[in-house]
Amino acid sequence: MRAQHTPGPWCISDISPTSVICERDQPGIAVMPFKREESERKANARLIAAAPDLLDALERLAENPQSFADIMDCYGRAAIAKATGDDT
């Protein structure tokens, strides 16, 4: 069963003093509150922006668990990198 959410990919549009999660060029998925430290706010924003990619990788794995290595190489590692900020 597919989740009903705003389709990805999501991105971070850093609008100081908050980070805004957007869908392509459309803002409005989520806003990270200014009350957090900047590093924590950005880490939270990266994790939320990666949510559709992480869900996609998990759904692919659930449908075909014997292809774990291929799924991790194609989808999982990219989603993890996006969530942790190592995708640069």
User: φ, ψ for residue 9 (rounded to 5)?
Assistant: -75, 150
Average pLDDT over residues 22-51: 77
pLDDT of residue 73: 87
The pair of three-digit structure tokens given for residue 17, joined into one six-digit string: 């003093």
> Which residue did the predictor score with more confidence, 57 or 31?
57
| Residue ranges covered by each domain of the chain | 9-49, 50-82
Residue 45 has pLDDT above 80, yes or no: yes
Confirm if 11 and 50 have CB atoms less than 8 A apart: no
Is residue 86 exposed (0-12), middle (13-18) or buried (19+ Cβ within 10 Å)?
exposed
pLDDT of residue 83: 87
Which segments of 1-88 are extended strands (E)? Answer: 10-15, 18-23, 26-31
pLDDT of residue 1: 45
> Which residue did the predictor score with more confidence, 8 or 76?
76
